[in-house]
Structure 1
Amino acid sequence: MSLMKIFDTAGSGMAAESLRLNTVASNLANADSVSNSPDSAYKAKELLFAPTRQTESGFGTQNIGEGSNGVRMVGVTESQQPVETHYEPGNPMADGNGYVYGSNVNPIDELVNMISASRSYQNNVEVMNTTKQLMIKTIDLGS
């Protein structure tokens, strides 16, 4: 793998972790939201990623041939955990029986996910910085 392809690979990882951080932020922002039905209650979202192999020209993806490896988002799933039910007859969002339905976001899980995404992003930055330093050293050797 050439050193330039390392930038593509680390860059795709950084983009993926940035999307993951945005998803975590959205989940945390909706952690305390309520709804008048379990179907419309906010459900925690998670991104699905898959490895890719880009062609030399950068157009499209394929699984064979020369190219740079990376990662891409292939979808979004919703948590299958049950939503929280609270009896609050005075709440304007309450259904006919006086219940409101909260989100199924677990703030602890989201914070762990945030730390993991942040560290992965930092690791990709370090890969890029190390590659840049290696390229500079190689140029200095030639002069």
Structure 2
Amino acid sequence: MNDFAKALSVTSSGLKAQATRLRHLAENISNADTPGYRRKLVAFETAFNGGSGVSQVETSRVRLDRTTLERIYDPSHPMADGAGYYDGSNVSLMIELGDAREAQRSYEANLKVFEQTRKMSGSLMDLLRK
């Protein structure tokens, strides 16, 4: 496997990992008002690909955030207990939006490296043809 293919392999694994992260962030944001919902956390791991000799990025198993759920007072809610409280979600929109921005920037950076590698490969092919 040549260096260009290795670079493309690494950046494509980064793109895939950030896309997975963005998908889970979108799920967290869409369920911010769902009672009892726990936010999903995605971590990254390094995976060594023995065939190509390249370390790539993978997402670990999705974990649930174990912080306490927000207690909401609403006696008219169908899930309210005898005291009128029910468990909300532990999703903070500010944290999710910040994480989404970070994931977006990381995705864009990986995409730039992918495009640069592709351009360099094309330029090399043009030089070799001459």
Q: Report the CA distance between 1:118 and its aligned residue.
A: 0.7
| 8 Å contact from structure 1 (residues 21, 117) kept in 2 | yes
Residue-by-residue CA offset, 1:55-90 (whole Å, 9 max, x unaligned): 22xxxxxxxxx5122111222222232211122111
Question: Aligned partners of 1:125, 1:86: CA distance in 2, in Å?
Answer: 42
Query: What secondary structure does 1:75 align onto?
Result: coil
Query: Which region of structure 1 is more displaced relative to structure 2, 104-113 or 82-91?
Result: 82-91
- Give me the identity figure in percent: 33
CA contact (8 A) 1:54 1:67 kept: yes
> Once structures 1 and 2 are overlaid, which stretch shifts more, 13-22 or 83-92?
83-92
**Which residue of the partner structure matches residue 3 of structure 1?**
4
Moved more, 128-137 or 87-96: 87-96
CA contact (8 A) 1:52 1:70 kept: yes
More strand by share: 1
Superposition RMSD in Å: 1.3
2-structure distance, mates of 1:47, 1:114? 12
TM-score (ref. length: structure 1) = 0.84
State the secondary structure of the residue aligned to 2:61.
Answer: strand
Q: Which residue of 1 aligns with 2:37?
A: 42
Would you identify which runs of 4 or more consecutive aligned residues in structure 1 move more than 4 Å? none
Matched-pair contact (CA < 8 Å) for 1:49–1:75: no
Counterpart CA distance in 2 for 1:86 and 1:140 is 65
Unaligned runs of 5+ residues in structure 1 are 35-40, 57-65
CA distance in 1, matches of 2:109, 2:60: 22
The DSSP-based 3-state class of the residue aligned with 2:43 is strand
Report the CA distance between 1:96 and its aligned residue: 2.7
The structure with the greater share of residues assigned to helix is 2
Which residue identity is paired with 1:32? D
Aligned residues: 128
- Give the TM-score, by structure 2 length: 0.92
